[in-house]
Every structure is written in C-alpha cells, then in structure tokens.
Chain A
C-alpha cells in the first residue's frame, strides 16, 4: 500500500468506526506534553493568568469608558455631567414633587450618595452580563482568560464612580456638610463594594453568555432592587413597621449595606444608629462570598465562552 499512487480515496464506509484507537493519539500527546485543547486551567493557575492580564483589564476598561462619549461634542465632560444630571432628575421627582425627602436631613447629599453608589453596582451588573456577548469578536480572535472581560466592565464602572464621587464631594462641601475623619471610612467601604461587584459581574456574565434573554430581564430586576434599597428615602423609617422577617431581609440587602456605609462615611448627619445592624461584618461577608462564588462560577464554564 505505501507504493500506491497519489489518488484521492473514497470516504470511509459507514460500517467502519471512524474513531481510531484512543491510546495511540493520547499517548503521543502525553509523550510530548500536549493537552486537550480548550481545557480550562485549574482555579489557582487561572487566577495567576488573570493577574498577568491586569494591565489588559485596566486598559480595556479605560478604552471602553473613553469610547462611550467619544461621539459627543462635549466628550469626556459627560463622564461628570451624567451623574450630575441623574442626581438632578431624582431630586426633582423624589425630593420636590413626591416629597420622599421630608424628614431626612441633608436630603441632597443623602440622595446623591445613594444614587452614585447604587449606580456602581447596577452598571457593573448590567455591563458584566453583556461583557462576553459585547466582546464576542475579541473572544473569538484572541486567547486570554475570559474573566478579564467582566472584570474590565467592573473596573470601568469603578472609574466612573470615582469621578462621580469627586463630583459628590464638591456637592457635599457646597451643601455645608463638614469634612470629618469619618471620610476615611469611604475607601474600605468602596473596596468591599468593588469586590462584591466583581463577583456579581462574573456570575452574571456567565448567565448572560448562555442565556441571551437574560440581558432583557436584568434591567427590571435591577430597578426593583434599587427601589427596595432605600436610595430615595430613608428605609429605616419605613422598615420599622414591617414584620420581623421582611425587616431582616431588607437589612441584609448588600446594596443597602454598601450605600449606608458610604452615607455614614460621608454625611455627618447620618448617625451610627441609623445603620443596619452588623453593617461592617455583613459588608465583609457579602464581598468575600460574592467574589469567591462569582469567580468559581465563572471559571467552571471557562471553555464554553465564545462558542457558536
């Protein structure tokens, strides 16, 4: 047979099993250290790979954030104008027209802090859920740990929040809120919230990549979450009349916890007794649980992303 001329042969008949005996190929692969393609790296190794892409994550986040307003004439000014306009709209509706702010001291700072901090979680969740489908071209073109994408989405929102917080600081000081030592509590609260958001974005990214309908439903879920998180009103006044279990559920809500912590840190008139119970331990627990569970959940489907 080796002497046969170069003639194309007919396809194998259906009776012949087309799969050759596995050991030979597998042995050859093992002998040369070849690995099955697309197999995901172990959890710790994956973390190392991800750390190696940290500059990519930050560069992608910055590029996305810049591209967002590159079509507008005012350009990057919108990064500051958008949160300001948001706060103005909410103030007009909930503060002036509906009067939800009655009885809340320093209502404008209270509202702005709530809106900005919740928007961070909300946008991280939304853009995290879309991060794999939005970057499908990149996923199919180049190989990198896919978790870079939801993490970049979160980092982009963190950059936006830092700008918003700068605006907020100006609003607070203009409104006569004193600069106290409590402001030092803002960075740790922000770190914990960022960890929580990373985990959330990772988990939602996996769901969003598999179920495309998810991106349609998520905005409604997030809006409901915003309304029960006491962004526009002081939840502790309303929850006081609620049954014990409802109150408990409202109080462990991570969004409420991170928003309350930031309000406590920045606004002098928000006193410690208005915070939900066990607020710091809960903030820490939510951050660690969300980050590790989200990471593991995303990782366990790593080889599936970008298919189809």
Chain B
C-alpha cells in the first residue's frame, strides 16, 4: 500500500456504503467516498475511527498540494453537521382578518403561531469532483431543504456548508421571468450566469435545440407563461446546463420532461461530471438515479440514513418502501 493512487483502492472496499454510526458522528464529516472516474464505479470507503479525513487512502498524496489530475479526490462540497430549521409565521388559524392583526399589533403580542420545523438534522458528508450524487427519501424527508442549504439559499441553524464556487440550484419552482419570451429568458439567463454577450450569442441556438422547445412550433418567441410545465422545466434546465457549473443541484427538474428529453439531459449530466463538476440530483425516479448517479444519499426525517454506492442504497431504499 505504498502510495496507491485513488483509482487503485481495492475493490473489496468499493462496494460498501459508509455506515453512519451513532456513537461517532464525526465519521460522517468528510468521510471520503473515493470516486474512481477511470473505472466508472464509485467506492465508498468506510473509515476507521481516528483516521484524519484529509487522508483518504492509507498513504495517498497530500490533498491540496497535488494537482487534481493525479487521482486524489478533490472535495467540492463539505456539509458539516448541518441543521436547518424553518420558522413559519402565521401558522395556525383564526388570525387572518384585519382586526385580529391590529389587536396583535396594539397589544404588542408577537405572532403566537410561530412554528418551527426541524427539516435537516445533523447531516454531514463530503462530495468530490466528478461525482453525481443522488438524494432519495420519501416526501418531506428534507431533500429539497438540503439542496437549498447547499446552494446557500437557506441559512443553517447549526453546522456549515463549504463549497467550491457558487452552487447552482435548479428546481421545479425556479421560474424565470414568465412575462418575457423564451428567447429573452435564454439571453437573460445566460447573462445572469456570467456569460459574455458573445458566448450567449454562440450558445443560443444550442440551448434552444437542446430544450426541444421549437420542435413543434416557434414557441421560443412566446412568453414563458404560455408554456406547459414540462416545456418550462425543459427550457430552465437547458439554460442552466449550458454553463459548466462547479456544483449543480437538480431538484426534480427532469421529472416533467418527456423520455427523449430525459435521455438528453442524462447525457448532459454525464458531460458536466466529466468537466470536473459535481452534480446532485433529487428524484423519486429510482431508474433515473441509477442511470445518472454513482453515489446515493438516503434521507429520512431530516437525518442521513445511508450514504454509499447507488445499487446498494437504492436497493435498501426500495426494500424499505416496499415493506
């Protein structure tokens, strides 16, 4: 085991998911799931207590000092004991009318119905460059909240999220500008992501073709409010995928597209990974997770249940849901 590059991590270690032990929560932080791009298979390396997470292989090259091309996994997202708590104001009933609002204001009562929802509870993991990570779990298990926190849109209650650059979140609710045409949205989206005007001009046709919006008619020159939800989702994905992101977070965005578009977007996700990005994919479609992801994180009630290679985690999840 003298200086083995990460690709040569023995296979017997490569098929085992990281087990999160309750007694040693720090294991979860930075447990290096060494991804081997060359072999095309993921390997989650279980860690013994006390091994510094900065040294993935027994005597691997020092991370950070070496170039990323030598096989050392380069972390792109570190989620460290993340807790996210929502505070919902005005939950409950009977306070919707004007007099009640005025009375509350005069009596200087705070809103009595502030509810808190502890949506993500102490999740820790490390994602590496080139990985595509699926996030699975039943509805309301905190998947979308986790993505929003990674994207920096929700402040953590406790814990920290470190990322390489600014992650981009691509969700079903992320409407662009509905009263503007699809064409204008493509141009504005490209400029907003930091492309130059020339880059936008060059890629415009590619984005429109990829989205397939114009296959049936000249829909790109219509306002986006006239689009069906599937068309809008396709255009949004096409715009966001036109740029190489360091970290791309996809939240169910592919669910609405038709089969042909799903195939295209899966191919594009693979391309993005090759271009040294990290992709997170939330989906309820286990087949789409199997096709695109090499590592899967299973969330349930805001807690990380399992983190490991796709086949095993998805199998365990299916077993759990079919019970």
Per-residue interface assignment for chain A, residues 62 to 79, with 1 indicating a CB less than 8 Å from any chain B CB and 0 otherwise:
011001001000000000
Per-residue interface assignment for chain A, residues 5 to 34, with 1 indicating a CB less than 8 Å from any chain B CB and 0 otherwise:
011111111001111111011111101111
A20 partner residues in chain B, CB cutoff 8 A? 25-26, 28-29, 80-81, 124
A170 within 8 A of B: no
Residue of A nearest to B313 (CB): A6
B236 within 8 A of A: yes
Residues on A facing B (Cβ under 8 Å): 1-2, 4, 6-13, 16-22, 24-29, 31-38, 52-53, 55-56, 59-60, 63-64, 67, 70, 135, 137-138, 140-144, 148, 303, 306-307
- Taking the closest CB of chain A, its distance from the CB of B101, in whole angstroms, is 11
Q: Given the interface contacts A6-B17, A141-B171, does A31 sit within 8 Å of B25 by beta carbon?
A: no
Determine the distance from Cα of A63 to Cα of B312 in the docked complex, in whole angstroms: 49
A37 partner residues in chain B, CB cutoff 8 A? 149-152, 161-163, 166-167
Q: Given the interface contacts A24-B52, A25-B78, A28-B54, does A34 sit within 8 Å of B162 by beta carbon?
A: yes
Determine the distance from Cα of A137 to Cα of B189 in the docked complex, in whole angstroms: 12
Neighbour of B303 across the interface among A12, A16, A142, CB < 8 A: A12
Residue of A nearest to B319 (CB): A8
Contact (Cβ within 8 A) B126 A28: yes
B13 partner residues in chain A, CB cutoff 8 A? 2
B114 within 8 A of A: no
Determine the distance from Cα of A56 to Cα of B191 in the docked complex, in whole angstroms: 5
Contact (Cβ within 8 A) A137 B174: yes
- Taking the closest CB of chain A, its distance from the CB of B240, in whole angstroms, is 7
Contact (Cβ within 8 A) B81 A148: no
B175 partner residues in chain A, CB cutoff 8 A? 137, 141
* CB proximity to A under 8 Å, residues B150-198: 150-155, 158-164, 166-171, 173-180, 184, 187-189, 191-194, 196-197
List 23 A–B pairs whose Cβ atoms lie within 8 Å, in order of A's numbering.
A1-B48, A8-B298, A12-B20, A12-B22, A18-B83, A22-B160, A24-B29, A25-B126, A26-B160, A32-B74, A33-B64, A34-B77, A34-B164, A35-B163, A37-B150, A55-B191, A59-B191, A60-B191, A63-B180, A67-B223, A137-B176, A141-B236, A144-B194
Q: Given the interface contacts A20-B124, A25-B30, does A138 sit within 8 Å of B153 by beta carbon?
A: no
Neighbour of A307 across the interface among B25, B28, B155, B184, CB < 8 A: B155
Most chain A Cβ neighbours within 10 Å, of B13, B83, B151, B162: B162
B316 within 8 A of A: yes
Determine the distance from Cα of A140 to Cα of B52 in the docked complex, in whole angstroms: 36
The majority secondary structure among interface residues of chain A is loop
- Taking the closest CB of chain A, its distance from the CB of B313, in whole angstroms, is 8
Q: Given the interface contacts A6-B308, A12-B22, A12-B122, does A29 sit within 8 Å of B162 by beta carbon?
A: yes
A138 partner residues in chain B, CB cutoff 8 A? 176-177, 188, 192
Determine the distance from Cα of A306 to Cα of B173 in the docked complex, in whole angstroms: 13
Determine the distance from Cα of A36 to Cα of B175 in the docked complex, in whole angstroms: 26
B122 partner residues in chain A, CB cutoff 8 A? 12, 18-19
Neighbour of A19 across the interface among B81, B161, B162, B167, CB < 8 A: B81
B19 within 8 A of A: yes
- Taking the closest CB of chain B, its distance from the CB of A115, in whole angstroms, is 27
Contact (Cβ within 8 A) B28 A144: no
A24 partner residues in chain B, CB cutoff 8 A? 26, 29-30, 52-54
Say which size band chain B's interface belongs to. Answer: 35 or more
Q: Given the interface contacts A8-B298, A25-B78, A140-B173, does A2 sit within 8 Å of B240 by beta carbon?
A: no
Contact (Cβ within 8 A) A19 B159: yes
Residues on B facing A (Cβ under 8 Å): 13, 16-17, 19-23, 25-26, 28-30, 46-48, 52-54, 63-64, 74-78, 80-81, 83, 121-122, 124, 126, 149-155, 158-164, 166-171, 173-180, 184, 187-189, 191-194, 196-197, 223, 236, 240, 298, 301, 303, 305-306, 308, 312-313, 316, 320
Contact (Cβ within 8 A) B189 A142: yes
Contact (Cβ within 8 A) A142 B46: no
A18 partner residues in chain B, CB cutoff 8 A? 25, 81, 83, 121-122, 158
Most chain B Cβ neighbours within 10 Å, of A24, A28, A60, A142: A142
Contact (Cβ within 8 A) B75 A28: yes
- Taking the closest CB of chain B, its distance from the CB of A6, in whole angstroms, is 5
B158 partner residues in chain A, CB cutoff 8 A? 18-19
- Taking the closest CB of chain A, its distance from the CB of B15, in whole angstroms, is 9
- Taking the closest CB of chain A, its distance from the CB of B86, in whole angstroms, is 9
Neighbour of A56 across the interface among B74, B192, B236, CB < 8 A: B192
Contact (Cβ within 8 A) A34 B169: no
Q: Given the interface contacts A140-B173, A141-B175, does A36 sit within 8 Å of B22 by beta carbon?
A: no
Determine the distance from Cα of A295 to Cα of B173 in the docked complex, in whole angstroms: 30
Contact (Cβ within 8 A) B76 A16: no
